[in-house]
Structure 1
Amino acid sequence: MDASSNDAFTIVGAGYRAHQPAIRKKGFWARLKGKPTLSVAVFSVIALGCLFSNLIINHDPAELFLMNVNEAPNAEFWFGTDSLGRDIYSIIWYGGRASIFIGLMSAAVITLIGVSYGCLSGVASGVVDSAMMRAVELLQSVPVLLSLLLILSLMGKPNELTIALVIGVTGWFALSRIVRSEVRQIRNSEYLLAS
C-alpha cells in the first residue's frame, strides 16, 4: 500500500454508516433538571402559605372537635383530625408560621451576638482575647438542651418570641469563634500591616 494513500484503514461491517446523533429538543422537565427552579417554587408556595395561614386555614387550630376525633381526611377536615379532634390541616399551616418566625428571629439573635462578640475578641489584646475565648468554651461545654430548659423555666410562660430569644442566646458560640478567627486573619494581613 502506498503511504500517501488515505485508504490505509477501511471500516467494514454490515450496513456501516457514519453515526449522526439525533438532535432533540429538551422537554420542560429535562430543562428543569439540575436547576433549583422547581424546589424554589415549591418552597415559596409553602412559605407564603405559612405566612398567610390565617387566610387559608379552615378551622381554628386550637379548637377541639370532639365529635370528629381521629377522623380520616374528608371534605370538612382536609388532612383529617388528631386524637383530640383538632384539624391537622390548620395546625400544619399555623405551626409553619410559628416555625418560620422562631427560625428567623433566632438566626438574627445568633448573628447579632456571635458577630459582635467574635469581632470584639478578634481585635482585643492577647490576654483579653484568651479570656473571652475561654468564656465561650466554658459556656459551650454546658449541654444546649439543659441550657434551653433552664432559661425557659426562668422566663415563665414560653411564647414564640421567648423561644427564639432563648435559642439565639444559647446558639451563638460557634459563630463567634468563626468570626474571631476571620478577624484575626484579616488583622494580620499584609495590606493592613502596611497601612
Structure 2
Amino acid sequence: MTSVLKTFLRNRKAAIGLAIVIAYVIVAIAAPLIAHYEPLARVGRPHQAPSADHWLGTTRMGRDVFSQLIYGTRNSLMVGVLAGFIVTAIGTTIGITAAYFGGLIDDVLNFLTNVVLVLPQLPLLLVLAAFLGQVSPLAIALIIGLTSWAWGARVTRAQALSLKTRDYIQAAEMIGEPSWRMILVEMLPNLLSIIGFNFIGSVIFTIITQATLEFLGLGSPLTLSWGTMLYNAQNASAIIVGAWWEVLAPCAAIVLIGVGLSLMNFGVDEIANPRMRSLGQVAKALRLERRLSRQRMQEAK
C-alpha cells in the first residue's frame, strides 16, 4: 500500500489533484471553524458586494456567500462520494462476476448492463427527480448511484476477462481455489486502477449532475449545496442586478474540484497504463532535449 501511495504521489498530476481534493475535505470537515457566520442567518444588506466583512458578498436575503460556500462543500462532497461508492460497488461486482463465471450469468448481466448503458442518463435523472419532487441530497446520491454504474461494469468486465486468461489465474483454478478467493484475492487487487478510475470519474459526474438537478429546482430548498446556491442566485436574478459573486463562488468551487479530481484521474491512468507512462517519458525527454538545445545555442552565441 505504501509503495502504491509513493508511486501515486510521484506523479505530478496525481499529487496536485490529491492536494486540491484534500483541501476540499479539510474545508468540509472544519466548516464551523472556517465560516464566519451561520450560512442561513441574515448578517448583511441584500446583494452586498465582497468586502472585508463578507469576503464573497451577500445574497438577496443578506446571507454570507462565503459561509454558504463552505457549508455547501459538505453536502456536495457527501453526495459525490456516496454516489461514487455506489456506482463503483455495483459496477465492480457485476463486471467481475460476469467475467469470472461467464456463460448464462455473463449473458444476463451483460444484457442488463447494455440496457442501462443505452438509457439517456441525464433525461432519466431529470424524470426521476421530477417524479419524486424536491429530493434530498441522499436521494440524489441514490438516484445517480443506481442509474450510473453501467459504464464502470463494462470496463471492469473487459479488464477482468483479460485477467482471467493469465497463467497465475488459471493455475489457481487448477489447484481448486474457491470462487470467492479467486475473485477477491487473485483478481480484485489487479483491478484497483480501473476501480479507482471509475470511482473518481463517478464523483466528478455526480457533483456536476447534482448541481444541474438542484439548479433546475429539483433539489430540496432546505439543504445547502453548490447547486442550491446557483438555484437561489438564479431566482434572485443575481447576474441581472450585478451580484456576480453569488454565481461565481459556487461555479468556481465546482470547476476547481473538477480539476482536482480530473488530475487524479489522469494520474491514475498514467500510472496504470504503460503506454501512457512511456508517452510521458518521451515527452519529458523531448522537453529536456529542447532545453539543452537552447542552452547550446546560447553558449554558441
Same fold (TM over 0.5): yes
Q: 1:145 to 1:35 in 2, by over 3 A?
A: closer
Residue aligning to 2:112: 135
Q: 1:39 to 1:185 in 2, by over 3 A?
A: closer
Find out whether 1:158 has 2:135 as its counterpart. yes
Residue aligning to 1:147: 124
Q: 1:63 to 1:138 in 2, by over 3 A?
A: same
Q: 1:156 to 1:114 in 2, by over 3 A?
A: same
Residue aligning to 2:189: none
**SS in structure 2 of the partner of residue 68 of structure 1:** coil
Quote the RMSD (CA, aligned, Å): 2.6
Find out whether 1:51 has 2:29 as its counterpart. yes
Q: Which one-letter code corresponds to 2:142 in the other structure?
A: L
Q: Which one-letter code corresponds to 1:57 in the other structure?
A: A
2:18, 2:45 → 1: CA distance? 36
Q: 1:73 to 1:192 in 2, by over 3 A?
A: closer
Q: Cα deviations across residues 54-78 of structure 1 (Å, max 9, x unaligned)?
A: 222122222345x611111223322
Pick which of 153-162 and 53-62 moved more: 153-162
1:109 to 86, 93, 96: 86
2:109, 2:132 → 1: CA distance? 26
- 1:70-149 paired onto structure 2 within 5 Å: 70-149=47-126
> Computing the radius of gyration over CA atoms, which structure comes out larger, 1 or 2?
1
Q: Which has the higher contact order (CA 8 A, sep 6+)?
A: 2
Identical-pair percentage: 27
Consecutive unaligned residues of structure 2, counting only runs of 5 or more, are: 1-11, 175-301
Cα offset, 1:168, TM superposition: 1.2
Residue aligning to 2:287: none
Q: Which of the pair is proportionally richer in helix? A: 2
1:176, 1:40 → 2: CA distance? 25
Q: Which one-letter code corresponds to 1:142 in the other structure?
A: L
Count residues in correspondence. 161
Consecutive unaligned residues of structure 1, counting only runs of 5 or more, are: 1-33
TM-score calculated relative to the size of structure 2:
0.47
Q: Which one-letter code corresponds to 2:26 in the other structure?
A: L
**SS in structure 2 of the partner of residue 80 of structure 1:** coil
Cα offset, 1:145, TM superposition: 1.2
Find out whether 1:180 has 2:168 as its counterpart. no
2:82, 2:160 → 1: CA distance? 25
2:63, 2:154 → 1: CA distance? 44
